[in-house]
A and B are shown apart, each in its own frame.
Chain A
């Protein structure tokens, strides 16, 4: 199979729009695994997550002409997956509710703790118990290496809110991890 690594996502979108539909395969392959992982964190069911991701790729293709190539394709695609996954969450009621005691967590030295490798390893496990509201920005920031601006585009939230949610998510994460010790 021909390699298209030298093309950016946005260049590939332009090619797909110009009737080279085979290029869409490259885009799907680039994001398939990442998006399944992201959706699985949100819905906690791999099969439903895969369905949501597949439906998102179909929707993205159908609406490809509406994508503005000056923006990041990945943010646009993640936004579609976010919407599809949230619809599935509502449908299957898989969302983890917010426990009250997490809200009152003490900030402590979270940044330092969270930065350690041990904490990162445990983080994957703890993340499964996190409320979706906070797990999502945290997954995007730490697992998918998205910037605050990109997360703001995906979640349609002001950057300040993204920063607040990530900080709060770290506090909640610490609480959960301590509880799971």
Chain B
């Protein structure tokens, strides 16, 4: 009896007609494929950009730590004064944006997402350290598009080092 009632109720449904009528009248239309392609493309570029930016900024962070010299007693003060905090903040913002974009991808829920996020952050920090250890930062200090940024911190730290020395 109950089953019959359910079947009757389902027969009375008007969803199909409502949806089809909206389609036929042109009240709703499909978004073009290019819309989704552009969305995926921008998400991909955004993710790549956030990875590259975070890696570079982590490398700059380590470069700044490394170039502070042996003046131990002033080191902490100098570090706080001259440290490129904007780079660290931007690196974190880049990582957060990257994590948000990662969520968009299908594989993200098939694994433990916390593990994926931890791996993502660890990879960026490791990549940043590797960039600095490989000597790429020293090359950028002398040439390339990032020369200005690198020298700015190199010069500030150099000047501080001299002032503290004499």
Residues of A within 8 A of B (CB): 17, 21-22, 24-25, 28-29, 32-33, 36, 46, 50, 53-54, 57-58, 61-66, 152, 156-159
Contact = CB atoms under 8 A, between A and B. Distances in A.
Given A65-B35, A156-B109, A159-B110, A17 B30 contact: yes
Q: State the main secondary structure of chain A at its contact with B.
A: helix
Contact of A152 (B28, B30, B109): B109
A21 B32 CA distance: 14
Contacts of B13: 32-33, 36, 50
Contact of A158 (B28, B31, B112): B112
Nearest to B113: A158
A29 B16 contact: yes
Interface of B: 9-10, 13, 15-16, 18-20, 22-24, 28-33, 35-36, 109-112
A65 B28 CA distance: 14
A64 B30 contact: yes
Given A62-B30, A65-B36, A25 B16 contact: yes
Nearest to A60: B19
A13 B9 CA distance: 27
Contacts of B15: 28, 32, 36, 50, 53-54, 57
Contact of A65 (B18, B33, B112): B33
A61 B27 CA distance: 12
Nearest to A68: B106
B3 to A, nearest CB: 11
Q: Which 3 A-B pairs have the closest CB atoms?
A: A156-B109, A66-B36, A65-B33
Given A54-B18, A65-B30, 7 more contacts: A22-B20, A28-B15, A29-B16, A58-B22, A66-B31, A157-B109, A158-B110
Contacts of A156: 109
A57 B19 contact: yes
Contacts of B35: 65
22 contacts: A22-B20, A24-B20, A24-B23, A25-B16, A32-B15, A32-B16, A33-B13, A50-B15, A54-B18, A54-B19, A58-B28, A61-B28, A62-B28, A62-B29, A65-B30, A65-B31, A65-B35, A65-B36, A152-B109, A158-B109, A158-B110, A159-B110
